[in-house]
Chains A and B, each alone.
Chain A
């Protein structure tokens, strides 16, 4: 009975499903948290990048300012060839100062020939010599120095160093060139300092925002979870006798979800109504089929009864004749025997006790359809290949067999043939029912197993639909093929199937 709810089984796992990312309960909060995290990290990265740029800019500005100041301070010293004064001026920059990104690693004053006039580190750059060990291309540096170069303030960078090159002038006269060397590495400690602050702030913010994000995600997911539970209740309500009690309580915070919930309730109610209707139809169809069966059987019983009554009347009239009596008793015996067969087949059909399908169940079919066979003078070819009981319920299979046989008998023209074959091969019970007759048009074949598909003179056209439903309940399948000569129905039922 739960099969009709198949399409309404939630496609997502239940809340108890251990696979976290696939449950909305965790997935929504998780994704909101991820968004918070990514946003936080992206912001931090942006701030860090900005800091890095700022530090570079600050360093360049500091270098330019220091170079400008120093070159002015050095001009009088160079003008009077005051090497010592120039050295003291350079030294003043470093006096008492801790090494930092603000301080040049070294300062160098070159004359117009590119030789060292004075240096902050005289041991490294001896006076009146070409400065050696500069990390930038020496030739490139010298090109910037008058009289070879333009003698303007500029920056030459390379190999992790930035050299600030500043001409020292007295009016238009260039006296020398000041070079301040800044190590890019000296910037890192400052950047790390700044980065540590950013990381700390971001971390604190994330610590605050992540739980909030999780909570927000949980709030979003909660109504969906309730909806899912509601749908699950709808599913359970199917087996609940009180079919009307399917409602989703709890007010919804979102209009869309509210409408969705109302719609689900409506659909659930419709489906249940449809299901009830279907069950009623199936019941009626069964009763109708039994009715037709009973009518045929009544006729079948009536025939021998008529013969027997005539025989008894003859016996009464002619009595005492041994041969007549024997003939009468024989006729009565045969008539009663036929009636007994008919009744016993009918009893099995009506009793409906759960049991396994046996060869006699197939044989009973001949008895059950006999009235219709005789009525149309058909030839029944029953090929029962079963030899033992099978692991498949007898009731539904008998119904399938009877429905197909009756259907075929009905469709077959007068004096034509009808064949039924039942065979168990491997795990499958194979039922094949064929009759001669008109070909069924293609467009009808397609809709043959739908309810009310047939528009024959008898019944509502539900027979094949009920048969199909029964086959499906047994996890089997049914197919039909129709040619100019005959129409063949085949059902394949898995053995060991449980209802």
Chain B
């Protein structure tokens, strides 16, 4: 995979899925189900999308497609690395962490750009908070430890303020889902949370009553949108077939309909350099990341 500098844009979608199959595996597993990994972490309404996406992929891959769900990015990533999945939709941070091992297949384009950002949100009743500097001794909701927008960036931002993310808040907890982080803030379980901006925007269109109970304090710089990556053992041929199916989705009526469910423009060919800005943050927060 090559690296190139990315522009910062926003937004990615829900959840991860994914995959592809190395040629050997393809040959070995021809006729067997194509295993696509997803997590609920940033899927808003996976049911309707997956109901159409499965048959769409099956038709183009010539194989049955099965979606494999796990709670966290880490689990999905581990399965990809072990060859237990053919492909998955994972977080940008998880991708960056395993840049060398997991080939990019396609990158979603949201509102014209392959970028998303992290939103700092607080309850709508909180009219005072202007940034992370105002959140000392507050309760903060992280999404999950392998989330870029929901964990890495907020810790980076605090480090930029010269603080220690481990001591900055009175209490933190993981919600294991971007929509749940929004809910945690709306219900005031947490005083603030950092969430995937793309997810928040999707929620704003589908469930405005929820997002209206939150206020976006600020957006982060833009990061490469969570990509669809292939498993370590997916064959080049299968990988190419998957890429073709994804990249041509917006030209297919059914594909268009599915993209609209996710409010995505289309998928674009991999551009590894758009994830560099995430790598740049790592030195500041690495001690905190396992």
Contacts and interface: CB of A to CB of B under 8 A. Distances in A.
A83 interface: yes
Interface stretch (A120-128, A139-147, A321-329, A433-441): A120-128
B174 interface: yes
Interface residues of B, number: 15
A118 interface: yes
Nearest to A81: B173
A82 B173 contact: yes
Contacts of B60: none
* Residue of A88, A91, A127 with most partner-chain B CB within 10 A: A127
The bracket for how many chain A residues form the interface is 10 to 19
A128 B140 CA distance: 11
A84 B184 contact: yes
B136 interface: no
A122 B187 contact: yes
Contacts of A81: 173
Contacts of B139: 126-128
A12 to B, nearest CB: 79
Given A84-B184, A126-B139, A118 B170 contact: no
A420 B111 CA distance: 146
A250 to B, nearest CB: 84
A84 B175 contact: yes
A87 interface: yes
A82 B175 CA distance: 8
Contacts of A127: 139, 170-171, 189-190
A123 B173 contact: no
B176 interface: yes
* Residue of B171, B176, B190 with most partner-chain A CB within 10 A: B171
Given A126-B139, A127-B139, A83 B173 contact: yes
B176 A84 contact: yes
A69 to B, nearest CB: 21
Contacts of B175: 84
Interface in A74-98: 81-84, 87-88, 91
A84 B175 CA distance: 6
B93 to A, nearest CB: 20
Nearest to A117: B171
A126 to B, nearest CB: 7
* Residue of A83, A84, A123 with most partner-chain B CB within 10 A: A84
Contacts of A91: 187
Nearest to A85: B176
Contacts of B102: none
Interface in A363-421: none
B45 interface: no
Given A126-B139, A128-B139, A84 B188 contact: no
A91 B187 CA distance: 10
Contact of A122 (B170, B176, B180, B189): B189
A87 B170 contact: no
A84 B187 contact: no
B258 to A, nearest CB: 29
B74 to A, nearest CB: 15
A87 B189 contact: yes
Given A84-B141, A84-B180, A122 B188 contact: yes
A88 B189 CA distance: 10
B171 A84 contact: no
A91 B191 CA distance: 18
Given A122-B187, A127-B139, A128-B139, A84 B173 contact: yes
B156 to A, nearest CB: 22
A84 B170 contact: no
A115 B184 CA distance: 19
Nearest to B123: A123
B170 A128 contact: yes
A91 B184 CA distance: 11
Interface string B161-179: 0000000001101111000
Contacts of A88: 180
Nearest to A123: B188
B165 to A, nearest CB: 16
Nearest to A90: B189
A117 to B, nearest CB: 9
Interface string B230-258: 00000000000000000000000000000
A128 B189 contact: no
Nearest to B187: A122
A350 B174 CA distance: 135
A87 B171 contact: no
Interface in A119-139: 122-123, 126-129
B213 to A, nearest CB: 11
* Residue of B139, B141, B170 with most partner-chain A CB within 10 A: B139
Nearest to B138: A126
A191 B232 CA distance: 67
A81 B172 CA distance: 10
A91 B190 CA distance: 15
Contacts of B173: 81-84
A88 B177 CA distance: 13
A118 B141 CA distance: 13
Nearest to B141: A84
7 contacts: A82-B173, A84-B174, A84-B175, A84-B176, A123-B187, A123-B188, A129-B170
Given A84-B141, A126-B139, A126-B191, 10 more contacts: A83-B173, A84-B174, A84-B175, A84-B176, A84-B189, A87-B189, A91-B187, A118-B189, A122-B187, A122-B189
Return the 8 tightest CB-CB contacts between A and B, nearest first.
Answer: A83-B173, A128-B171, A122-B189, A123-B188, A84-B175, A127-B139, A127-B171, A122-B188
